[in-house]
Amino acid sequence: MQRGTIRIWYLVHKLSSLISTAFLLMLCITGLPLIFEHEIEDLTGDAYVMPPVTDEDTRVSLDTVLANALASRPGEVGLFMSFDEDRPVVNVTSGPTPDAPGEQMTLMSLDWRTGEFVPAPDEGDVMGFLLQLHTDMFLGLKGLLFLGFMGLLFFIAIVSGVVLYAPFMTKIDFGTVRASRSARVKWLDYHNLLGIVTVMWASVVGLTGVINTLSDPLTSYWQYDQLAEMTAAYDGAHAPDQLASIQGAIDAAKAKAPGMQVQFVAFPGGSFSTEHHYAVFMQGNTPLTKKLLTPALIDAEDGSFTDMRTMPWYMQALLLSQPLHFGDYGGFPMKILWAILDIFTIIVLASGLYLWLAKGRKGIQTRVREIESGGRLDGDIRQAAE
Amino acid sequence: MTETKAPARRQTAAQIFAIPALLALLSLVGLVSALMGDGVRDFLSWLGLAAPVIVALWALKARRR
């Protein structure tokens, strides 16, 4: 590789890393406990045991569940209804208006067998704080998009790092760790080894994180693009005065999608539906098809089926980016591996920062020759080599 | 040269990237496999994602100079 080429890639690697390292360290460190969010909640929270009933398979009408939930929130309307996977629990989200923002929403959980309240999932204070910091640093959409940009810089740093790996390793066997040499050479070797083995994982987790930050804009675009098209016949239709039965809407959707489960229902007027429809989001049975939701639109005035179509590619990319970022789709061993790879990435980030801080007053020429020589320009041999 | 080792041969790009490319491929299999189903696909996923971890730990021990 030409010296000029190395110089350019070195500058790309240095700049993209320097800007993003502090934020990436924050993301990797807050992300570590978040991998085990469910396990930590199970350990620290008071696990609620569903009371036994005579007929475990009995289900009350979802209209009853909704009415019970809304009776506890006078003046509010339903926004979402969702279903727990591992227990007969229906979650109802309510708010003062159909388009209420997240902070005005109330989440309630009810027993599907009896229609009685059960304790709502309680996001612990610490985990909630970490999640918010990890997602948007308490800055809303601006914070989300900023962290998305940092993720993009992280990916540029990975690519430029792979390019620089080639000249550095020309005379060094894979995996060599020269721990008996100077601290600088030792950390260069750690940085290169852990960086190169985590390339694929870090790229995928980084880029899916970037896609996740685009969740709100993508959903808005989908609503404008596809939902509007699916409901063109309803242009200008007013919101119904009286909502049709939610149980009827779900039954109508299920009849059109045999073998699929309902994951959640978005009520009319919110960002996942139209003014005039329930959007019933159906899911399949494998981890993949579970994530690739298919919305069925049900007329919220008369309960009739309007349309159903699979999500466009950008929404599928968004839905698939969630598991690939969280690492929650392959059981506990996958979480352990996710954590180890995250720690490797922390070491790569920290050693990169150290290598930059400890570079002394050496200019870019020295850095380029250090890369070309695989770190041999360090310390006692520098003079000899020069 | 004060290098103690004999002047090393120059590796080609293919030689340099052989193991990293294999690890990237195994990682990718690990990332995708568990998405496609449970059971044996989960297991394949663990093997794929364990590959970079095991190789790194091996190198830190066996290739320490």
Measured N-to-C along each axis, helices A140-169 and B13-36 cross at an angle, to the nearest 10 degrees, of 140
Note the pLDDT of residue A360: 67
Note the pLDDT of residue A51: 87
Nearest C-alpha of chain A: how many angstroms from B6? 11
Residue of B nearest to A194 (CA): B56
Note the pLDDT of residue A236: 74
Do the beta carbons of residue A202 and residue A341 sit within 8 Å? yes
Cα angle at A113 between A110 and A118, to 5 degrees? Answer: 25
Note the pLDDT of residue A103: 85
Closest Cβ–Cβ partner in A181, A201, A291 for B49: A201
Nearest C-alpha of chain A: how many angstroms from B29? 10
Identify the bridge partners of residue A294 per DSSP, sorted by sequence position: A282
Nearest C-alpha of chain A: how many angstroms from B5? 11
Residue of A nearest to B40 (CA): A330
pLDDT of B28 over the 90 cut? yes
CB contact under 8 A, A178 and B65: yes
Q: Which residues contact A131 (CB under 8 A, 6 or more apart)?
A: A30, A34, A37, A123
Q: Which residues contact A295 (CB under 8 A, 6 or more apart)?
A: A227, A272, A279, A280, A281, A282, A308, A309, A311
Give the total number of structural domains in chain B.
1
Report how far residue A309's alpha carbon sits from residue A82's, in angstroms, rounded to the nearest whole number: 20
Q: In this structure, how many other beta carbons lie within 10 angstroms of the beta carbon of residue B15? A: 14
CB contact under 8 A, B59 and A180: no
Mutate: best of A35, A163, A196, A347, partner B, most B CBs <10 A: A196
Task: Count the residues in chain B.
Answer: 65
pLDDT of B61 over the 70 cut? yes
- The answer as to whether B6 is a domain residue is no
Report how far residue A182's alpha carbon sits from residue A364's, in angstroms, rounded to the nearest whole number: 20
- The answer as to whether B2 is a domain residue is no
Domain hosting residue B19, numbered range? 13-62
- The answer as to whether B7 is a domain residue is no
Q: Which residues contact A333 (CB under 8 A, 6 or more apart)?
A: B42, B46
Measured N-to-C along each axis, helices A3-35 and A140-169 cross at an angle, to the nearest 10 degrees, of 130
Per-residue pLDDT of chain A (386 residues; tens, 9 = 90+): 788 999 999 999 999 999 999 999 999 999 999 999 888 877 876 667 888 888 888 999 999 999 999 999 999 999 999 998 888 999 999 999 998 988 899 999 999 999 999 988 766 678 889 999 999 999 988 999 999 999 999 999 999 999 999 999 999 999 999 998 889 999 999 999 999 999 999 999 999 999 999 998 998 899 888 888 888 888 777 778 889 999 999 999 999 998 899 999 999 988 888 889 999 999 988 878 888 889 999 999 999 999 998 899 999 999 999 999 999 999 999 999 999 999 999 999 999 999 999 876 678 888 898 898 888 765 444 444 44
CB contact under 8 A, A384 and B63: no
Q: In chain B, which among 14-53 make CB contacts under 8 A with chain A? A: 16-20, 23-25, 27-28, 30-31, 33-38, 42, 45-46, 49-50, 52-53
Do the beta carbons of residue A148 and residue A24 sit within 8 Å? no
CB contact under 8 A, A166 and B17: yes
CB contact under 8 A, A384 and B60: no
Instruction: Take residue B37 and report the two structure tokens written for it.
Output: 């189903």
Note the pLDDT of residue A361: 65
Note the pLDDT of residue A365: 87
Note the pLDDT of residue A55: 86
Helix H segments across chain A?
3-35, 37-44, 62-71, 125-136, 140-169, 183-197, 199-213, 215-222, 228-230, 246-256, 287-291, 313-326, 331-357, 364-372, 382-385
Residue of A nearest to B37 (CA): A286
Q: In this structure, how many other beta carbons lie within 10 angstroms of the beta carbon of residue A97? A: 12
CB contact under 8 A, A170 and B64: no
Report how far residue A141's alpha carbon sits from residue A22's, in angstroms, rounded to the nearest whole number: 20
Report how far residue A115's alpha carbon sits from residue A204's, in angstroms, rounded to the nearest whole number: 42
Do the beta carbons of residue A157 and residue A17 sit within 8 Å? yes
In chain B, pLDDT over 70 holds for what percent of residues? 88
Q: What's the complex ipTM?
A: 0.90
Note the pLDDT of residue A384: 42
DSSP A224: I
Identify the bridge partners of residue A227 per DSSP, sorted by sequence position: none
Mutate: best of A197, A286, A346, partner B, most B CBs <10 A: A197
CB contact under 8 A, A287 and B34: yes
Nearest C-alpha of chain B: how many angstroms from A293? 14
Instruction: Take residue A157 and report the two structure tokens written for it.
Output: 């740093």
